[in-house]
Structure 1
Amino acid sequence: MKSRTLRKDKVNIITLGCSKNMVDSEVLSGQLLANDISVVHESAKKDHNIVIVNTCGFIDKAKEESVNTILEQVELKRRGRLDKVYVTGCLSERYRNNLEAEIPEVDAYFGTMELPLILKRFEANYQAELIGERLLSTPSHYAYLKISEGCNRTCSFCAIPLMRGQHTSKTIEQLVAEAEGLVKRGVKEVMLIAQELTYYGLDIYKRRELPRLLHALADVKGLEWIRLHYAYPSKFPLEILDAVRERDNICNYLDMPLQHASNNMLKAMRRQITREEMTELIYNIREKVPGICLRTTLIAGFPGETEDDVEELKGFLEEHRFDRVGIFSYSHEEGTGAYSLVDNIPQEVKESRCQEIMEVQQEISLEKNQEKVGKVFKVIVDKKEAGRYLGRTEFDSVEVDNEVVINTPKPLPIGDFVQVKITKAFDYDLEGDVIA
């Protein structure tokens, strides 16, 4: 495609939202590169003439950030700094008509599954044979591996099925080939992501096949850590835990969003599970994989939530002592099952409840970290900042979990594994010394 500047096009992709969006941007980048189109991720050099904004439409704050980013790029176009602005992703999928009416300066809007149409704008062809050929936006030693798209669950607070459609699994062969390609490029850790991991395989194999996928990925030579994100608790296939226990390169780590602990809230959220069933599941998980790191995500301020519900949730955290917890304030999303309910809790109360709940978890996190002092852990070196090396144990995922400050008199190659003896513990981080 020819631009009015007569220079060769260079595309900058701006990614907002979750790791699943990041993978989509990486795949788009790989397709553009394969068509000999120059592309970068979130470039600060300002030497590009085209921008693609990959938006998030999950909750109010994410939508606001996406709209503001679009407006910033449109302003750059108005000032002659850009030739074209394209918008894709979840917000565009969900609100395309509104966006076209309100921000017509954007050259084109695309949905979440319209990669070939984006490429047509560049007179480029979609190349189906590019399995795993992505321009990684992460450091070269780790990457996200999306094993499926969409979700069949009907949680009343969630708009993801509206934006991503029904669950569609990739084949085991495709995912193994993608993992092998990533390893050849230096990747040592993959984080398995999906809207719902445990549903994997039901659509194409007619049974839950995450355990078989895990064993196949664990056989990939050079893949040292495999990490599980976003497992749904209802009808959780316990065979997953057998794979975690049996394979050394599957991290003792499970990210399982529970969202709440009050039966009233769980029912209203349509989570298809009770507090009692969650308690039994947590005990089973810890019995099958002693020492496993359990991460969960919670929602505060769902319509009808009472102070008693909040207290019950805090008690649940104190009882089960999760290693990692994230929390969101409820966002009233049109088109969801909960949209017919009255969003009757003020935003400041939602945020106050979030803080109150996280204060409970903060104390638990500090106590769990203090138990690690004096122990030695395998740590991957992620980066060097302000003269200090920062890394993670197998119990920590990227960005959302603890970091380890690594003390060493010698240079450490980024992406290497080192043995670190923990000397200090903080609320959410650790510090330690490299040992020979």
Structure 2
Amino acid sequence: MKKNRVDIITLGCSKNLVDSELLMKQLLASGYTVSHDPEQIEGEIVVVNTCGFIADAKEESINTILNFAQAKQDRKINKLFVMGCLTERYMKELQLEIPEVDKFYGKFNWKELMQDLGKSYLQDYALCREITTPNHYAYLKIAEGCNRTCSYCSIPVMTGKYQSRSMEEIVGEVENLVAEGVKEFQVIAQDLTYYGLDRYKKMMLPELVERISDVPGVKWIRLHYAYPAKFPFDLLRVMRERDNVCKYLDIALQHVSDNVLTKMRRNISKQETLDLIETIRKEVPGIHLRTTLMVGHPGESEQDFKELITFVKETRFERMGAFPYSNEDGTYAYKHYNDEISDEEKQNRMDELMAVQEKLSSELNESKIGCIFEVIIDREETEYYVGRTEFDSPEVDPEVLVKKDDRIHVGEFYKVKITGSQPFELFGELYC
């Protein structure tokens, strides 16, 4: 057990990761040694940053806390602190059930942790983060919370109303990160497209992206988690005109059946969804769309599911993920619907949907053989360098396995010719 070392464990999404990175910088500035998600816990202090989105995530968070609570009882660690979404949602219950934890913090009051360690929160480091991703890319969180009222989603229960950060603060953070060597930014929020409505009284995402794009040294900007209803179409102009804004958009559609969309309270119809996709692809030629779809929502009939399958086959999303409905307490669906579809049926539907996408992904990737793309190299492995095109976000999208070449360096961009493909990865070689 190493004195003055803090091990931080981050569970859940990239938005949680940003919070952990902010905390890490504060700890480092206060004289601690800090490790993130280490293979072996060596610190006297452990901080667990939890996720509480769906049942599986909650279970993982609770099991992780319990494991470290046991480690504390066994005197393998001295202090255990827990923060994040799960504690924001279930603070009182967790305090009663796991008293071994020294203190629980919610989603937003984790800064108190510094005070509880006998340190001051350093305002000079408020926009500074200890990047845990490869040095050439970082996540950029532009807002907290969500004002949508989707039936199935517990995020607003945990994070509250939408809170946009100021453009000046966000651009300042980008400038700081560029100075540290970051070239690629994954712009994230629970809902990107709402950005600015609370602070500026109008959708400001297009202007924000332009201002980030203007920062010298920003090579790629990639946008995650757009909401389809009342989409800010001027964003498409920005994507088309700015070379460093990737032709990539992550927009969670969830479903296409009018019946299910209504039950989900998505505020958009099937025809509006189809029109939106058509407009996006027309205005930004070559764009790659990533979407997320849900199966098994209460009221989803066999016909609704077949409609969804047909939609995926005809739309041919370049990137797609899916997940089964989870009956989360505190949500509209939990209060007003019966979760009548069995877990087995939900899983079967998800498997069928992803099998369709795998075939489509195989065809789309095969069509890229012989093409030349700009690729950023993320890491070196035994047989390949591993990189991504502008159409691929870290962790969730296909990678490009590039043939070993002495001229290649991690964190740099190269022209790569695609020589082969599999459903969820490409193979290539340096193009001279």
TM-score by length of 2: 0.98
Alignment of 1:313-328 (within 5 A): 313-328=308-323
- Pick from 417, 420, 423 the counterpart of residue 424 of structure 1: 420
Q: CA deviation at 1:119?
A: 1.4
Q: What is the alpha-carbon distance in structure 2 between the residues aligned to residue 121 and residue 402 of structure 1?
A: 42
- Pick from 216, 219, 223 the counterpart of residue 224 of structure 1: 219
Q: What is the match of residue 330 of structure 2?
A: 335
Amino acid at match of 2:414: V
Amino acid at match of 1:392: R
SS, match of residue 64 in structure 1: helix
Contact 1:10 1:49 in 2 (8 A): yes
Question: Is the counterpart of residue 110 in structure 1 residue 105 in structure 2?
Answer: yes
Question: Is the counterpart of residue 383 in structure 1 residue 379 in structure 2?
Answer: yes
- Deviations along 1:271-327, whole A, 9 cap, x unmatched? 000111000000000010011000000111111211111110011111111000011
Contact 1:254 1:295 in 2 (8 A): yes
Q: What is the match of residue 48 of structure 2?
A: 53
Alignment of 1:179-194 (within 5 A): 179-194=174-189
Amino acid at match of 1:283: E
Question: Is the counterpart of residue 129 in structure 1 residue 105 in structure 2?
Answer: no
Q: What is the match of residue 279 of structure 2?
A: 284
Q: What is the match of residue 397 of structure 1?
A: 393
Alignment of 1:150-189 (within 5 A): 150-189=145-184
Q: What is the alpha-carbon distance in structure 1 between the residues aligned to residue 353 and residue 146 of structure 2?
A: 28
Contact 2:23 2:111 in 1 (8 A): no
Contact 1:260 1:299 in 2 (8 A): yes
Q: What do you get for the CA RMSD once the two structures are aligned? A: 1.1
Gaps in structure 2 of 5+ consecutive residues: none
SS, match of residue 49 in structure 1: strand
Question: Is the counterpart of residue 251 in structure 1 residue 274 in structure 2?
Answer: no
TM-score by length of 1: 0.97
Q: What is the alpha-carbon distance in structure 2 between the residues aligned to residue 421 and residue 234 of structure 1?
A: 38
Alignment of 1:204-215 (within 5 A): 204-215=199-210
With over 3 angstroms needed to count, the CA separation of the structure-2 counterparts of 1:131 and 1:80, relative to structure 1, is closer
Q: What is the match of residue 82 of structure 1?
A: 77
Q: What is the alpha-carbon distance in structure 1 between the residues aligned to residue 406 and residue 303 of structure 2?
A: 53
Question: Is the counterpart of residue 362 in structure 1 residue 358 in structure 2?
Answer: yes
SS, match of residue 9 in structure 1: strand
Gaps in structure 1 of 5+ consecutive residues: none
Amino acid at match of 1:412: I
SS, match of residue 252 in structure 1: strand
- Deviations along 1:304-358, whole A, 9 cap, x unmatched? 2111111100111111110000111111000000002111111111111100001
Q: What is the alpha-carbon distance in structure 2 between the residues aligned to residue 264 and residue 386 of structure 1?
A: 50
Q: What is the alpha-carbon distance in structure 2 between the residues aligned to residue 31 and residue 9 of structure 1?
A: 13
SS, match of residue 229 in structure 1: strand
Number of corresponding residues: 431
Question: Is the counterpart of residue 23 in structure 1 residue 15 in structure 2?
Answer: no
With over 3 angstroms needed to count, the CA separation of the structure-2 counterparts of 1:409 and 1:33, relative to structure 1, is closer
- Deviations along 1:80-101, whole A, 9 cap, x unmatched? 1100111100001101111111
Q: What is the match of residue 94 of structure 2?
A: 99
The worse-fitting range, judged by mean Cα deviation, of 386-395 and 122-131 is 122-131
Amino acid at match of 1:166: K
